[in-house]
């Protein structure tokens, strides 16, 4: 009898430690979502909306950890080095998970192979913004103003490689100007300085900018998309306003460390999918001008393919432009 019990015990232990049993019980404790920028900014806002809904679907709290610095590279490195058990998740965007791979040659990890994709999250265009007391009312007037004053105007961004830096570079190219950047730990704090007039301009995600534009705290000249946003129908597109083709889309995603069991990734993916299908979440995101990817683009495999395609698109462009931090 004692031998039978011991044998049964061994079977139970081996079942519990097998990937299938682990995924059936996962998660048994809170999951940490590492946000690479400051609280109060666009990535943080998206993370909190998704995490709140994912918590309900997972039956465990998804805790937000804002690990800031070096345009998100510190946060992503933290997840790469975390245990590959699904309890540490990286949220980020085209800047943190693609562009930084070319800008920071000494990153110490590979964005494509050291992370496992979980799900593609919403994307949003950016708004070309200035503080309120700039003497320009249209994009054409603003471009002329920046051209005439470029040496003394300051542009906020969230560090080299961030979304606001990508938008800044696109504006520089389209408008034929050179911007003087002031780096922040995220566009949450940068937006506060734009509102108070400490900095003059910023190209920031619609989701972070729209509430401030609606409140009349900053001025928006154009949206970096080929069509107007339903969330901001009064803001002209860059094509309409005079910088044709200056399109920038900041897409987001979730990743876990390499080697995380596929069944655990599937559980996280299902919870995030459920969050994106939740009508309350969809409404909050739509109000912020976020576009939710269709269901067929929300599998781990779809994010893997898209992530690789984006790296293939961006890395040669950045290397050719010579934007690099040693």
Task: Write out the residues near ligand MLT by the rule CB under 6 A.
Answer: 37-38, 41-44, 93, 95, 158, 162-164, 186-188
Minimal distance, residue 37 CB to ligand MLT, in Å: 3
Reading phi first (left if > 0) and then psi (alpha if -120 to 50, else beta), residue 145 is in alpha
Q: How far is the CB of 207 from ligand MLT (least distance, A)?
A: 9
Nearer to ligand MLT, 55 or 96 (CB): 96
Scanning the structure block, which residue is given the tokens 């490195």?
77
Phi, psi of 53 (to 5 degrees): -75, -40
Nearer to ligand MLT by Cβ, of 186 and 242: the residue is: 186
State the first-to-last Cα distance of the chain, in angstroms, to the nearest integer.
Answer: 66
Cα separation, 40 vs 188, whole angstroms? 5
Kindly state the tokens that stand for 18.
């097998």
Least gap, CB of 323 to ligand MLT (angstroms) = 15
**Least CB distance from residue 181 to ligand MLT, whole Å?**
11
Strands 218-223 and 249-257: unpaired
Read off the tokens for 56.
Answer: 């309900």
- If the CB atoms of residues 43 and 90 are measured against ligand MLT, the closer one turns out to be 43
Return the number of the residue (101 or 186) whose C-beta is nearest ligand MLT.
186
Burial class (CB in 10 A: 0-12, 13-18, 19+), 282: middle
Identify which of residues 32 and 205 has a Cβ nearer to ligand MLT in the complex. 205
**Contact indicator for 242, 139 with CB cutoff of 8 Å:** yes
- Minimum Å gap between C-beta 324 and ligand MLT is 18
- Of the two residues 130 and 260, which places its CB atom closer to ligand MLT in the complex? 130
DSSP 8-state code for residue 83: -
Q: How far is the CB of 130 from ligand MLT (least distance, A)?
A: 16
């Amino acid at each position: 009898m004692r031998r039978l019990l011991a044998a049964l015990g061994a079977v139970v232990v081996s079942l519990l430690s097998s990937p299938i049993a682990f995924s059936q019980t996962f998660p048994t404790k809170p999951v940490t979502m590492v946000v690479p920028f400051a609280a109060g900014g666009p990535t943080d806002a998206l993370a909190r909306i998704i995490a709140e809904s994912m918590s309900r679907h997972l039956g465990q709290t998804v805790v937000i950890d804002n690990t800031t610095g070096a345009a998100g590279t510190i946060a992503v490195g933290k997840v790469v080095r975390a245990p590959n058990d699904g309890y540490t998740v990286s949220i980020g965007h085209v800047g943190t998970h693609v562009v930084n791979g070319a800008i920071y040659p000494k990153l110490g990890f590979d964005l494509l192979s050291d992370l496992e994709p979980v799900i593609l999250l919403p994307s949003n265009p950016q708004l070309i913004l200035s503080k309120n007391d700039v003497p320009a009312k249209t994009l054409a007037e603003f471009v002329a103003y920046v051209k005439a004053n470029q040496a003394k105007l300051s542009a906020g961004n969230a560090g080299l490689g961030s979304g606001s830096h990508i938008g800044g570079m696109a504006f520089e190219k389209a408008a034929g100007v050179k911007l003087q950047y002031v780096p922040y730990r995220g566009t949450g704090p940068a937006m506060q300085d734009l509102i108070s007039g400490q900095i003059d301009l910023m190209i920031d995600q619609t989701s972070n900018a729209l509430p401030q534009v609606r409140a009349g705290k900053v001025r928006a000249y154009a949206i970096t998309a080929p069509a107007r946003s339903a969330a901001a129908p009064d803001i002209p597109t860059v094509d309409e306003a005079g910088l044709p083709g200056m399109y920038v889309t900041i897409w987001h995603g979730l990743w876990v460390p390499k080697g995380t069991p596929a069944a655990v990734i599937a559980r996280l993916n299902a919870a995030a999918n459920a969050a994106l299908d939740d009508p309350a979440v969809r409404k909050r995101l739509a109000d912020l001008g976020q576009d939710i990817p269709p269901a067929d683009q929300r599998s781990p495999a779809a994010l893997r393919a898209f992530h690789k395609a984006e790296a293939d698109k961006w890395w040669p462009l950045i290397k050719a432009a010579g934007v690099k931090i040693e």
